[in-house]
Amino acid sequence: MWKLYIASLVHGALAEYGIKNDPTKELEKALAREGLVRGTLSLAGLLRSVVDYARQALRPQALEGGVEVDPVTQLPKGFKGKIIFSEPGREAADPELNSVDRLLELANLALSTARFHCWVLLDRLDVAFAEAADLENNALRALFRVYLDLLVLSNVKLKIFLRTDIWNRITTQGFREASHITRHMTISWNRSSLLNLVVRRALHNAAIRNAYLVNDLSQLGTEAQEQLFHRESVETQEKFFYRLCPEQVDAGPNKPNTVDWLLSRTRDGTKSNAPRELIHFLNCLREVQVKRLEIGEPEPEGELLFARPSFKDALPEVSKVRLEQTLYAEYPAQKEWLERLRGAKTLQTLDTLATIWGISAEGATARANDLTTIGFFEARGTQQQPEYWIPFLYRDALDLVQGAAE
């Protein structure tokens, strides 16, 4: 199914670029005959057409005693499609019969003849298969097998964007092909890169640049702007950040500065920060500050854009969205166990978790480990006496209380 979908996508690109040669015509003829030419179809519509075609081929509606299988195509005799999912045998008499691999070869030849390369980018795969873990595992494993198969094509390449936790999940039970995937890169975020992200977004706002008398970037091209942002030191970026925000959210000699406070409040139990939560927090912070001004609260001191109380007021919405729209949406089976922790303390042991959940110590261990894997718990303590700490990111949403459970 992946191969058929990719062949259809590449054909759409060939048509869009006006590439017309013999391989293109042969590819279009094969796809058009089965109603798989993208044309006016959206990406979702094309995918639905491919899925329906595959279901028709591989899931005959009636299995009466036995199904007579075509020895050439290995498909039920009732299937009338001309695109099959394995190479036709030598005895195939139908000249219009094509395998999905043959279609990809035609696409590659069409691009090569026209001296073009085509990249197929696949993103947001965590959303595509969110309704079923088994479906997600099977679909993504199949996709990476297709990725390896397509390495032989010179002009068609896949680029797959996948969250690290999902990759870990599909390889947990063993995935032999994973060792053959050698061209990969992990995109990670640290304090400096996240600070750079915040400052760059702020400086793309003309009103902020004018208010803080920052050099007018509108006269610079995009490439020059990128070079300027990357050339600025971390110290310079942080200095500008503190023109917008107070030095600390909680005042005191042992309290973190605002940058570190932001990162600690938007970090999950894996101790990693994602731009999504940080950006969401800053958007909520802006809305909270605007509301404070609308109801007559005093403006922030000096040239600051945000007052200290606004930071704490912005966190509950971020916490709620992260819990309900990310954790519950991606791991619905864990919702019952997380809800039982509502109002509990933020530091738990296996004994306290077993009591809250009403299960055995062994069951609590397995459940706590699952929640640690998905980033709800941060594992602390020792191997003999483990403890489970709940990050700030989830505390407001579950009305958790600071402290250790007894």
- Arithmetic mean of pLDDT, 122-135: 75
Shared-domain flag, residues 258 and 380: no
Shared-domain flag, residues 76 and 169: yes
Q: Report yes or no on 119 lying in a domain.
A: yes
CB contact at 8 A, 357 and 367: yes
Q: What mean pLDDT, rounded, does the chain reach?
A: 86
Shared-domain flag, residues 216 and 281: yes
Shared-domain flag, residues 324 and 342: no
String of DSSP letters for 91-114: T---TT-EEHHHHHHHHHHHHHHH
Quote the pLDDT of residue 321.
96
Is the pLDDT at 145 greater than 50? The verdict is yes
Quote the pLDDT of residue 95.
67
Shared-domain flag, residues 157 and 197: no
Shared-domain flag, residues 159 and 286: no
Is the pLDDT at 289 greater than 60? The verdict is yes
Shared-domain flag, residues 356 and 393: yes
Shared-domain flag, residues 202 and 141: no
Q: Which residue has the higher pLDDT, 360 or 185?
A: 360
Quote the pLDDT of residue 130.
63
Last residue of a domain, one of 301, 328, 355: 328
The torsion defined by the Cα of 127, 132, 134 and 138, in degrees rounded to 10, comes to: -40
Q: Model's pTM, two decimal places?
A: 0.74
- Arithmetic mean of pLDDT, 46-67: 67
Domain count, the chain: 3
Shared-domain flag, residues 341 and 277: no
What is the 8-class DSSP label of residue 88?
A: P
Last residue of a domain, one of 275, 301, 328: 328
Last residue of a domain, one of 276, 308, 328: 328
CB contact at 8 A, 49 and 37: no
Is the pLDDT at 155 greater than 60? The verdict is yes
- Arithmetic mean of pLDDT, 155-184: 81
Q: Report yes or no on 351 lying in a domain.
A: yes
Quote the pLDDT of residue 349.
96
Phi, psi of 381 (to 5 degrees): 75, -155
Shared-domain flag, residues 322 and 379: no
Q: Report yes or no on 247 lying in a domain.
A: yes
Instruction: Give the model's confidence band at 220: pLDDT under 50 very low, under 70 low, under 90 confident, else very high.
Output: very low
CB contact at 8 A, 280 and 318: yes
- Arithmetic mean of pLDDT, 152-161: 94
Instruction: Give the model's confidence band at 62: pLDDT under 50 very low, under 70 low, under 90 confident, else very high.
Output: very low
Instruction: Give the model's confidence band at 387: pLDDT under 50 very low, under 70 low, under 90 confident, else very high.
Output: very high
Shared-domain flag, residues 322 and 381: no
The domain in which residue 28 lies consists of 2-180
Q: Which residue has the tokens 């798989």?
A: 36
Q: For the range 190-194, what are the long-range contacts, defined as Cβ-Cβ under 8 Å and sequence gap of 24 or more?
A: 191/259, 191/260, 191/263, 192/234, 194/263, 194/273, 194/275, 194/278
Q: Report yes or no on 185 lying in a domain.
A: no
Q: Report yes or no on 61 lying in a domain.
A: yes
Instruction: Give the model's confidence band at 364: pLDDT under 50 very low, under 70 low, under 90 confident, else very high.
Output: very high
Instruction: Give the model's confidence band at 176: pLDDT under 50 very low, under 70 low, under 90 confident, else very high.
Output: confident
Shared-domain flag, residues 375 and 343: yes
**For residue range 76-117, what is the model confidence (pLDDT) as tens digits?**
555 666 777 777 665 555 667 778 899 999 999 999 999 999
Instruction: Give the model's confidence band at 285: pLDDT under 50 very low, under 70 low, under 90 confident, else very high.
Output: very high
